[in-house]
Structure 1
Amino acid sequence: MINKWNKTLLAVLIGAALFVEGGFGFGVTALAAGGEQPQTADTAAAAGQASYSLTPLIQAAVQSASVEAAPSGRRIAVTVRMYNSGTERLRVPDFELRAQTADGLEYKLDASSGNKKALKPQEIAEMVFMSVVDSTSPLELAGLSFVHVDEYVYPKQETQLVSLPLGSDVWYGGAGSTDRLPTRVWGQTFAIPGLNSRLVYTPAGFSRQTTEKGPAVVVTVLAENKGTGREAVPDFRIDAASDQKKYAGVRTEQGNVQLEAGEKAYIHYAVQLEANAQVDRLIVMTTETFAADGQTTAIDTGKIVIAVPDGGLAEPTLDTGYSIGTPIRIDPLSKAIDHTEISLVELHIQQNPGDSYKTGFAKFRLTNTSDKSVPTPSFEAELVSAGGAAYSGMRQTSVPDTLNPGLGSVISYAYHIPLSESSGGFVLKLLDGKTASPYNLTIAALQVPVQQEVDNGTTLHLYPFDMTLEDWSVGTNYVATNTTYSYKMKVTLDLKQADNVVVDSNFSKLHFEVVDKLGRVLGTGDSAFTGTQKLVSGSQTLATSNIQSEQIEFPVILNLYEQFDTASGAAKRFLKTLQ
């Protein structure tokens, strides 16, 4: 008997602790067991009470309360969390939940048909109550009361079980209601009031993006489990607002997100905006469901306001000390990159002959750091100038499916940049386009210089190759069988390749153009670094195709390019002119 009593007492204490973490924290008047007069709020506070008993073993706390406009008037909604601190299954006591307004009116709230009728031992359940008042006049809630009504006596007898005032935590809907909510600055960790949870959240990322649906803001929140067991991230959302309007957000992750004790993970929210909309705050919103007569009503409640970051942008810490060729620091919580080291090995920006714009050319080495094959990661690469202009990279059309252990592969990106862009350095952002598709998430940001185009004589650098032109000459090739001709270039090369870097048919090609003295392209040709006709050290002959004139013309020059294919066409980087 003593052991059973001790277990029951311990359960009650645990339940009280849970309600301290998740309850509203209102001043409460609670009816003591045995029908004694209710304690005052001061007495309850002095006693350190944190949960309020409907019965000796069932405690109740208010999780949320709201008043919002409805098609037929004003909707009052309250969610109550109940806890069975006993060791047996207990029936939820019969009671009415009533809401009192500041002007002295009282409204009985209907119980959702989804509310539980009984609680298992140690079970916590949410009970939803709602009533629609046929009035357009503003309503301000002042308090709630739990009332037991005995209708089997005449006149019916009412017993107040619990009475509590409501304060600033009531949600009144709309952007203007945020003044009543607790506020956090950007980057400040918070827990969601009213939820029985050991998870805490830290705003970590904020960016403005444009999709086919229009402008949007994407918010990244770092969730951390401070508890001792696995816990699911509750189904809340983040909205964005200004003084005039509120925009609803959606979580991009599908399904439940489970966190083990001590685990951290990102969750992401996207908020579609109107054109030219400006928002200055975020609102953490929870949603409960009220069910009646086969229909359901979603009830939203604002919990916390978060100020947007200064400048309207928050991303991973910028790496200002990056050196080309070294591994890029990827956000360790990102799941976009698996056992792969990424290094920027080339960044060129220049105007190719004949073009009316500049071309950017970025090349990355991807190295498998594990002992098994891994999929080639998919990421986007964006260049941001000192003036804030963002240029999206066009990735090479084809990439290898997998990376083998200990080996590197090369992936290239091209950029179209206006002639007016004069930045000597850019911020390079690696973007994850899958986790929160169709939105992009920044997984790395680094300050990078543009490589200077230095004439190295006859040596050309096309990572992972260093190609030295030891000799060259231009001639013609006539085919009598079909009376056609082409230009041909005889070259002697010394070709060196970096160790442990694999190239395949997806790698860049050496592209050359035969140009006359007026700048007209007379013919073009391509030579690969792989395959049976690949470039090698020693002498070889390269022939043109696509002849653009009907007769041989001399003198001519050769323009050499590195070229790869993108979804928008061929991307070229000018290398050298051979006379």
Structure 2
Amino acid sequence: MIQQRKMKRLLSRSALLLTAASFLTLPMATSAFAGKEGVFLSDSVYFTLDKVSLSVGAEDGSLRFSLGLNNNSNAIVDFNNYGVKVIDTNGITYTAKLNEKVVARVKAGETGTFKFTSEIPNNLTPSDLKVDIFRWNNNSTSDIGALSVESAMVESGQTLEQQAVINLKEIDTTLAEETLVTAKLGQSYKVYKDGVWMVYTDLILSNESNASVKLPEGLELNFQDSKGLTYGAQFVASVGALLPDQPVTVTLQAAVPASLDTNKLSLLFSPKGKVKTALLGTLNAAKTFSVARLGDKVTYPNKDDSGALNGLVMSTTWAAAIQQTDGLHVQANVTLTNTSDGIVSVPALTGEFQASRSNVGVTSSDNAVRSAYLSPNESTTFHFQGIIPASLNAEALQLVVLEKQGTTASTTTGTGTGSSSGSGTGAAGNNSDTPKQGTSLPVAVTSLAGAGVAGEATTYAAAQAYKIGDPFKLAATNSMDSNMDMSLVELGMSVNTDFGYKTVVAKYKLTNKSTTTLALPDFQTELTNEEGYTYTGVRQTNVAKNIAPNTSYVLNYSYMVPDTEDADKLALNLYDTNRLAMGSYKTEVQPIPATGPISVYPFTIDFDDYSLSATYNKDNSYSYRLRLDLDVQRQAQVITDANFSSLVFEVVDTEGRLLSSKPMTFTGQQRILSGVQFLEFNNIRSEQITSDSYFNIYEVITTPNGEAKRLIRTIRP
């Protein structure tokens, strides 16, 4: 039966300790305890409270503390004459058990330390508790004084923690004395992996004894849900010897049903086979399941006891879900940033897209080459992508980021051993087995709600704002090297009256920023108008295979659009060769200037002067001769080869009929140059000669579907 006692008011002997100068008999001990609360037996003998730890489990609590008996007198003080208990603000007392066998007689000039544990309710706070010291008087006791738990915790910087205190002697009776191990929860994750829903939980174990110890085989761990159902938990890797005062992070895993509610999940410690009858400790795991949102910055869980990953911050900075005919294409970028003052290693990460409460999981790897280390304030981004069933709700999607154990990210220099994360193992030197190489353990779960879903093509409303000429901010993919910049430099449209449709021509500039030659990337493009109509781009027929370092190359794509398309509100959608989106950007066609210079990137052409004359030929035909005074300027240093677009000059009569045409190129002997040039248009019949004939000038690119023409200027003599 729990007895209630009223607290006795502490008199002058239970006061704040004086300064070191007040205890000349033991200056070092007095200085060490200066400022602490004490309970005095005499002017030279007093008790102090140290190393206080208040733990709360799911169903109970535990108070652990060290009581110091400071003997500055000239005689031996026997601790057997005194007793200790814990008392709360309601006067209810709780037994304090001595944790280890120690010598009770404290010699003169020494300090004896006695470690205690008291089981208490889990709803008590440090301010509710005091450690009461009393004297044994034959069959009775008399209170001496009490020490504040809250004051001792504040003085040492301790906080209330959720942890279970496991007495291993209750499982392994061969142990010579009580051996306490504390268990605290780290992060927990619910992950669909290898066709099974799993719960992974990081567990921090601390050996509170004075000698190394191993967890006995008779210790059983189980997760328990709100219905009382239990799910056996195992360590991912074997746990070696636990060293004193050296916390070790291990990882638990348990197979669970998809419908498991993690908001009411507990971790139970018990002797094997006695989870229902003999609990040794419980921890509430509900609050350890954290699902981040897009853009949230979270601290990377440091499972490596060497601290090699301290300072890493992780964030899912971008995600997109695009509906295609073969399913929902999902992508996400995960950025790691080193916020520390030192260099940290880059972990090897993989991704998995999962849908909560659905048995669907799609793994993804980013094989991009990156450095093995990050300097202070440096970042690196991983890109993950996958295709999941189209019927799934994108708002329920989650990205699970996993770390491959025993490996690091691909590196650009050296082998880069990086950090071998020790999840599920003891600290270095603990002789514990690391997870098998290739094992992946979760480090973050992010909800992709709000990433947005488009229909068969990305909608105009979802596209990013864009200014022609700026580099695209592309999602990283395996087919686009990170050292390759790409931008849209021109977008023009012209009418094909003979065929009843319009042609849009887009020019993309690709720049190799690296110091080595790169392969010209392949990509797909689409234009989507505000109503959702989509026009697929066709790439020019012939292109270069490589781009030299520090040079640029222009690629042309053409799009057939209906005659009714105004093209004033378009979304440009870019995809890699696997139809995974790299970005979507708002744009519009550029107007054709009626006067002044015209752009055929990377050139500008200005028609300073022109004139037209007709000549009669001996074969009874006529020729037009067009005299041009041109000013041709190169806007940028971009490679122009035989695959570059050309110009075509067409003579058209008043009825819009083509009379003759003449091509000109930007390369070769007949290339367009600044100065005066003459163009001859032959084989025009006499009845076609009119004073109202005019010239249309087109930029022409060759595509697999034929020639695509963009009208750039009309000349009327």
**C-alpha distance in structure 2 between counterparts of 1:409 and 1:256, whole Å:** 24
Alignment deviations for residues 223-274 of structure 1 (CA, whole Å, 9 cap, x no partner) = 43444542445746453648x8575343341389756243333333334243
* Cα distance in 2 for residues equivalent to 1:137 and 1:366: 50
Instruction: Give the structure 1 partner of residue 377 of structure 2.
Output: 262
Q: Is the 8 A contact 1:207 1:217 kept in 2?
A: yes
Aligned pairs for 1:422-461 within 5 A:
422-427=566-571, 431=574, 433=576, 438-442=579-583, 445=585, 448-456=587-595, 461=599
1:82 touches 1:125 (CA, 8 Å); kept in 2? yes
Map of 1:313-352 to 2, 5 A cutoff? 318-319=464-465, 322=467, 327-328=469-470, 330-331=472-473, 345-352=489-496
- In structure 1, which of residues 357, 366, 369 is the aligned counterpart of residue 501 of structure 2? 357
Matching residue of 1:164: 283
Give the RMSD, CA atoms, in angstroms.
5.8
Cα gap change, 1:413 to 1:264, in 2 (>3 Å): same
In the alignment, structure 1 residue 398 sits paired with structure 2 residue 546: no
Aligned partner of 1:5 in structure 2 is none
Q: Which runs of 5+ in 1 are unaligned?
A: 3-15, 17-23, 152-157, 170-180, 480-484
Q: Deviations over 1:304-349 (max 9, x none)?
A: 54532578789999447x4x6xx51554997968778766553322
Structure 2 counterpart of 1:217:
330
TM superposition shift of 1:462: 3.0
| 1:163 maps to amino acid | T
1:465 pairs with one of 595, 604, 607: 604
Partner Cα separation in structure 2 for residue 62 and residue 82 of structure 1: 7
In the alignment, what sits opposite 2:215? Answer: 93
381-390 or 307-316, which deviates more: 307-316
Partner SS state of residue 328, structure 1: coil
Match of 2:557 among 413, 431, 447: 413
Alignment partner for residue 41 of structure 1, among 108, 118, 122?
A: 122
- How much does 1:204 deviate? 3.1
Q: CA deviation at 1:563?
A: 0.6
Answering whether residue 366 of structure 2 is matched by residue 253 of structure 1, we say yes
Query: TM-score, normalization: structure 1?
Result: 0.65
2:353 to 225, 233, 239: 239
Question: Of 170, 185, 190, which aligns to 1:61?
Answer: 185
Shift of 1:509: 0.6
After alignment, is 375-384 or 92-101 more displaced?
375-384
Whether the 8 Å contact between 1:110 and 1:131 is mirrored in structure 2 is no
Gaps of 5+ in 2: 1-27, 29-50, 65-98, 101-115, 127-149, 154-158, 167-178, 305-309, 406-423, 425-432
Q: CA 1:232–1:535 in 2, change beyond 3 Å: closer, same or farther?
A: closer
* Matched-pair contact (CA < 8 Å) for 1:98–1:106: no
Deviation at 1:360, TM superposition (A): 1.4
Q: 2:629 aligns with which of 484, 488, 494?
A: 494
Q: Which residue of the other structure, out of 331, 340, 344, is the alignment partner of 1:230?
A: 344
The normalised TM-score by structure 2 is: 0.54
Q: SS of the counterpart of 1:571?
A: strand
Q: Provide the C-alpha distance between the structure 1 equivalents of 2:358 and 2:256, rounded to a whole number of angstroms.
A: 24
What SS does the corresponding residue of 1:492 show, helix, strand or coil?
Answer: strand
* 1:2-53 CA distance string (max 9 Å, x none): 9xxxxxxxxxxxxx9xxxxxxx997875696549554553468776254556
- Cα distance change, pair 511–329 in 1 and its aligned pair in 2 (3 A): closer
What corresponds to 2:397 in structure 1?
282
Counterpart in the other structure of 1:571: 708
1:535 corresponding residue in structure 2? 672
Q: How does 1:370-381 map to 2 (within 5 A)?
A: 375=518, 378=521
Counterpart pick for 1:115 among 238, 250, 263: 238
SS at match of 1:280: helix
Amino acid at match of 1:205: W
Counterpart of 1:6? none
Deviations 1:469-522 (A, max 9, x none): 62345779999xxxxx99976443323223554433232111245668876667
Structure 1: distance between partners of 2:368 and 2:486: 30
Give the match's secondary structure for 2:389: coil
Aligned to 2:449: 307
1:573: how far off?
Answer: 0.7
Shift in alpha-carbon separation, 1:40–1:494, aligned structure 2, 3 A: farther
Q: Cα–Cα, structure 1 residues 310 and 104, in superposed 2: closer, same or farther, change >3 Å?
A: closer
The code of the aligned residue for 1:307 comes to A
Q: Percent identity?
A: 21
Distance 1:390 1:408 in 2: 29
Indicate if the aligned counterparts of 1:52 and 1:59 stay in contact, CA closer than 8 A.
yes
- For each residue in 1:376-435, what CA deviation from the matched residue of structure 2 results, as whole angstroms up to 9, or x when unmatched? 874766545344555454443414833675x76544332222223224344556x4738x
**One-letter amino acid of the counterpart of residue 710, structure 2:** R
The 1:76/1:395 distance shift into structure 2, 3 A limit, reads closer
Query: Structure 2 matches for 1:511-526, cutoff 5 A?
Result: 511-513=648-650, 525-526=662-663
Question: 8 Å contact 1:486–1:543 — kept in the other structure?
Answer: no
1:374 and 1:403 in contact (8 A); partners too = yes
Larger radius of gyration: 2
Structure number with the bigger relative contact order (C-alpha 8 A, sep ≥ 6) is: 1
Code of the residue aligned with 1:254 in structure 2: it is N
Q: Which amino acid aligns with 2:470?
A: I
Q: Secondary structure at the match of 2:286?
A: coil
Question: Counterpart of 2:450 in structure 1: which amino acid?
Answer: V
The change in CA–CA distance for 1:188 and 1:373 in structure 2 (over 3 A counts) is closer
For the 8 Å contact 2:402–2:441, the answer to whether it is kept is: yes
Q: Is the 8 A contact 1:222 1:267 kept in 2?
A: yes
Q: Name the CA distance, whole Å, in 1 between partners of 2:191 and 2:548.
A: 56
Q: Distance in 2 between matches of 1:221 and 1:67?
A: 18
Q: After the TM superposition, which of the residue ranges 500-509 and 515-524 deviates more from structure 2?
A: 515-524
